Amino acid sequence: MDVLNVITLLGNFLIVPGLTYGSQLALGALGVTLVYGVLRFSNFAHGETMAFGAMITILVTWLLQASEISIQPLPTALLAMPVGIAVTVLFTLGMDRLVYRYHRERKASPVIFLIVSIGVMFFMGGLIRFIIGPGDQIFFDGTRFILKAREFKETTGLNEGLSLKMTQAVTIVTAIVIVALLFWFLNHTRTGKSMRAYSDNENLALLSGINPNKVVLITWVLVAALATVAGTLYGLDKSFKPFVYMQLLLPIFASAIVGGVGNPLGAIAGGYIIAFSELILTFAYKRVVLYLAPEGTEIDSLVQFLGTDYKIAVSFIILVIVLIIRPTGLFRGKTL
C-alpha cells in the first residue's frame, strides 16, 4: 500500500508535471535546433517567437469565445492555433526577408547572426507588449480536470491523489503528434530529406541541385509552427506573460544543447532531461520518506536537494556543466 502511495505521489508531483513541462521544452528546443542545423546560428529571438505565436492564438481564441464557438471539453485555443501558426509563419518569413536574408547572402558569421537575432528579440518583445500588454492573460476554457485527485482517492482508497489537468493531457498528446509529424516530414518526404542534406553539408547539397531558398523557407515555416505550438501549450498550462517567454529561452537552449544542437532527437531528450532534473532536484521527498520509513519516524526537514527557488537555476547549471564537459551534447555526431 505504501509503495502504491509513493508511486501515486511521485506520479502526481513529478511524472505528470515533468512530462508536461518536458514536452513544452522539447517543442521549443526543436525550433532552436532546426534554426541551428539549417541556418547555423543560435536564435535568441525564439522565446519571443513563441510568445508571438501564443499571442495571435490568444487573440483568435478571444474572437472565437466572443462568437461562442467552442470545442468543449477541449480548450478553444486548440481551434485557434492553426490561425496562430499561419500568422506567425508569415511574420517569421517577413522577418527573414527583411532582416536575416541580407546577412545570409553576405555569409555573415554566426556571432553577427546572433546579434541580429537579439535585435529581432527586442523588436518582437516590444511589438508583443504593444499589442497585448505586459500583463497576465488567461485564455483557458473547457474542462479543467480529466482526473481529479479526490475522485482518484475515492476510487482507489489510497491516501495520495493523482490528478490530471486537461492542459497537461493536451500538451503531452499534442507534443507527441507534432513530433511524429515532424519526424515523418524530415525522414520520409523529399523536402525533408533535402533539408537534412542541406544541414549536413551545404555545398554538397547545393551541388546536387537543392534549392537553398526553399530549404530556408521550409525551415522558418517549421520553426514558426513549432514555436507557436510550444508557446500556446505553455501559456495554456501556466499562463501567458510576455516576459516569461524570455526567461524560457535559457531552459530551451539548455535542452537543445544537452541533447546536441542540430539534433532533433537530442532536443526532445534534452527537454525531458531538463524538466525532470528541475523537478527531481527541487522536490520535497519528506512524504516519500515517511511512507517508506518504519512507522513512527519523524523528520524535520523537507528532504530536498535544493530549495524550490532554485528550480530555474537547475537548468542553467546543467547547461553550463554540459557546455564545459561535453559541448557536443549527449547524442553527438548526428545532426538533423
Partner 1 sequence: MFDSGFYEKHRAPILFTVMAGLLILVGFIQSWGVSLTILNLCLISAIMALGVNIQWGYAGLFNVGVMGFAALGGLAGVLVSMPPVSEAWQAGGLGILSGLLITFGTVMACLLVWPRIKHINRWRYWIVFGIILSGYALLRVFFDPGVDAIESIDPSVTGYLGGLGLPILVAWPVGALFAAGVAFVIGKIALGLRSDYLAIATLGISEIIIFFIKNEEWLTRGVKNVNGLPRPVPYEVDLQQAVWFQDLAMSLGMPVDDASSIFVKLCYALLFMVVIAVLLWLSETALRSPWGRMMRSIRDNETAAAAMGKDVTWQHLRVFVLGSAVIGLAGAMLTTLDGQFTPVGYQPLRFTFLIWVMVIIGGSGNNWGAVLGGFFIWFFWIEAEPIGLWLIETLTTGMDPTSPIRAHLLEGAAHMRLMTVGIILLVALRYAPEGLIPERKRL
* Contact call for residues 83 and 61 (beta carbons, < 8 A): no
Residue number, 122 or 184, with CB nearest to partner 1: 122
Beta strand extents in 111-153 (DSSP E only)? 145-147
Q: Which of 90, 133, 189, 239 binds partner 1 (CB under 8 A)?
A: 133
Residue 51 engages partner 1 in binding (rule: CB under 8 A): no
Q: Are 22 and 274 in contact (CB under 8 A)?
A: yes
Phi and psi for 240 in degrees, rounded to 5? -95, 115
Which CB atom, from 89 or from 124, has the smaller least distance to partner 1? 124
Told to check if 238 binds partner 1 by CB under 8 A, we report no
Q: Does 250 bind partner 1 (CB under 8 A)?
A: yes
Show the site string, 252-291: x = touches partner 1 by CB under 8 A, - = not: -xx--x----------------------------------
Tell me: does residue 74 bind partner 1 (CB under 8 A): no
Among the residue ranges 174-182, 224-232, 283-291, 304-312, the one whose residues contact partner 1 (CB under 8 A): 304-312
Residues 84-103 that bind partner 1 (CB under 8 A): 99, 102-103
Q: How far is CA 302 from CA 159, 224, 235, in A?
A: 19, 42, 30
Which stretch, 51-59, 119-127, 176-184, 192-200, contacts partner 1 (CB under 8 A)? 119-127
Calpha distance 234→242 (Å, rounded) = 12
Residue nearer to partner 1 on the CB measure, 28 or 125: 125
Q: Which is nearer to partner 1, 50 or 116 (CB)?
A: 116
Is 146 a binder of partner 1 (CB under 8 A)? no
- Closer residue to partner 1 in complex, CB, 183/316: 316
Q: What is residue 32's three-state secondary structure?
A: helix
Question: Minimum CB separation from partner 1 for residue 195, in Å?
Answer: 21
Question: In the complex with partner 1, which residue's Cβ is closer, 109 or 189?
Answer: 109
Does residue 140 interact with partner 1 by CB under 8 A? no
Interacting residues of 235 by C-beta distance below 8 A, sequence separation 6+:
54, 57, 58, 77, 137, 139
The residues, ordered by sequence, that sit 6+ positions from 329 with a Cβ below 8 Å of its Cβ are 257, 258, 259, 260, 261, 263, 266, 270, 322
Give kind and range of the element (H or E) at residue 165. strand 164-165
Cβ(20)–Cβ(171) under 8 Å? Answer: yes
Give the torsion sign (CA, 56, 58, 61, 67): negative
- For residue 294, say if its preceding peptide bond is cis, omega within 30 degrees of 0: no
Binding residue (CB under 8 A) for partner 1 from 69, 118, 177, 180: 118
Write out the three cell numbers for 292.
Answer: 517508506
Q: Which residues bind partner 1 (CB under 8 A)?
A: 41-42, 99, 102-103, 109-112, 114-116, 118-127, 129-131, 133-134, 246, 250, 253-254, 257, 307, 309-310, 312-313, 316-317, 319-320, 323-325, 327
